[in-house]
């Protein structure tokens, strides 16, 4: 009798282990963490939370957004690099993390091309060259003339050294043969506040954060950095239209995970991301905010990241840009 009970016990344990094995294989079986390497409230955080809600429905598990700010996104990216490649931790970050930090930060704890499975560029948005209403230049050509008459006198406010708006300014100076004073702030919000208050002269800011200020007259727009006009500000010309070539710049947000995701897990994550981006309600909301849906493949993202890295490496080297 005791022998039979032992056999039954072993069989029960084997069956239980089999059930556990099946459950483990059915990814996901627990909540998933989306790490945003910036403070709450910015564009990247908004994208992660907007898409995360839809992804939770698709995957059947909650996608929890955690903000791990610091070192221009490098701290959060390093945490994702060190996480197990099981699909329960992924990164939502912007251009700086993938294609600027590797050039500017000499002791970077991650390599975006080697340490991540790049999943998809979710969205992109152009920058807008803005100034307070009192600034003397009202067009791009007037600004260029003003800069040439007043070298190293016009202040360019940015959200920080090495940020998208800083590098856009550097590229603009290089392509127009002008210069200005770089004034880095701790984020885009204080830079915009000083612009509105007339304490800074001009700035390249993400369209989605300044469009409202432009429409209410608190800021004036001189040009947009996209390759075409934005439906959010159709009256604002592109830099190319205004005579400045090769300054087509977009800020973008993208998804990545620790290197080595199982193929089926990678596929589920990718499909959940793209599915959320193509949801009619979400798509409409993002477009109204000035974002363009990209939703490219991992292979396309990999090629794009390498191209962006090479582009900004050249801008940084020519401009002799360094960060502490």
Do the beta carbons of residue 238 and residue 228 sit within 8 Å?
A: yes
* Residues of the chain scoring pLDDT < 70: 1-25, 324
Q: Which of 40, 38, 99 is nearest to 69 (CA)?
A: 38
Length reported for the chain: 324
Do the beta carbons of residue 45 and residue 38 sit within 8 Å?
A: yes
CATH class of residue range 126-224: alpha beta
What tens digit of pLDDT does each residue of 139-181 get?
999 999 999 999 999 999 998 888 889 999 999 999 999 999 9
| Residue linked to tokens 């007339």 | 198
Q: Which two tokens stand for residue 191?
A: 């830079």
Distance of CA 161 to the CA centre of its chain: 16
What tens digit of pLDDT does each residue of 255-270 get?
999 999 999 999 999 9
Do the beta carbons of residue 165 and residue 248 sit within 8 Å?
A: no
Could you tell me the residue ranges of all domains in the chain? 12-17+22-124+252-319, 126-224
C-alpha gyration radius of the chain: 23
> For the domain with range 12-17+22-124+252-319, which CATH number is right: 3.40.309.10, 3.90.100.10, 3.30.460.10, 3.40.190.150?
3.40.190.150
Same fold, 12-17+22-124+252-319 and 126-224: yes
Q: Which residues pair with 89 in a beta bridge?
A: 33
Q: CA 30 to CA 39: how far, in whole Å? A: 25
Q: Which residues pair with 256 in a beta bridge?
A: 91, 118
Do the beta carbons of residue 192 and residue 213 sit within 8 Å?
A: yes
- Burial of residue 196 (CB within 10 Å: 0-12, 13-18, 19+) is middle
Query: pTM value?
Result: 0.85
- Burial of residue 265 (CB within 10 Å: 0-12, 13-18, 19+) is middle
CA distances from 304 to 102, 294, 297, 298, 321 (A): 15, 12, 10, 10, 23
Stated as kind and residue range, the H or E segment containing 12 is helix 2-25
pLDDT at position 72, please? 84
pLDDT at position 5, please? 55
């Amino acid at each position: 009798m005791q022998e039979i009970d032992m056999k039954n016990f072993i069989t029960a344990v084997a069956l239980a282990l089999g059930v556990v094995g099946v459950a483990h294989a059915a990814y996901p079986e627990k909540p998933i963490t989306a790490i945003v390497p910036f403070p709450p409230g910015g564009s990247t955080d908004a994208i992660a939370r907007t898409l995360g809600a839809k992804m939770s429905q698709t995957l059947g598990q909650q996608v929890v957004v955690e903000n791990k700010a610091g070192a221009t996104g490098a701290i959060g990216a390093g945490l994702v690099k060190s996480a197990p490649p099981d699909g329960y931790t992924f990164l939502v970050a912007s251009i700086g993390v993938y294609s600027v930090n590797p050039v500017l930060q000499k002791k970077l704890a991650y390599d975006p091309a080697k340490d991540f499975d790049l999943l998809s560029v979710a969205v992109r948005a152009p920058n807008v060259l803005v100034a307070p209403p009192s600034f003397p230049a009202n067009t791009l050509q007037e600004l260029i003339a003003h800069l040439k008459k007043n070298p190293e006198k016009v202040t360019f406010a940015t959200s920080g050294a090495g940020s998208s708006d800083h590098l856009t300014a550097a590229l603009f100076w290089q392509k127009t043969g002008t210069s200005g004073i770089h004034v880095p702030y701790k984020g885009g919000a204080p830079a915009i506040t000083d612009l509105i208050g007339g304490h800074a002269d001009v700035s390249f800011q993400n369209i989605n954060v300044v469009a409202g200020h432009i429409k209410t007259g608190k800021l004036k727009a001189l040009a947009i950095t996209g390759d075409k006009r934005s439906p959010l500000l159709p009256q604002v010309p592109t830099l190319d239209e205004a005579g400045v070539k090769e300054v087509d710049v977009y800020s973008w947000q993208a998804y990545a995970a620790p290197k080595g995701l199982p193929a089926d897990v990678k596929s589920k994550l990718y499909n959940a991301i793209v599915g959320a981006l193509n949801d009619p309600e979400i798509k409409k909301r993002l477009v109204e905010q000035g974002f363009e849906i990209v939703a490219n493949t991992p292979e396309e993202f990999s090629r794009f990241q390498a191209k962006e890295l090479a582009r900004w490496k050249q801008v940084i080297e020519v401009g002799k840009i360094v960060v502490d």
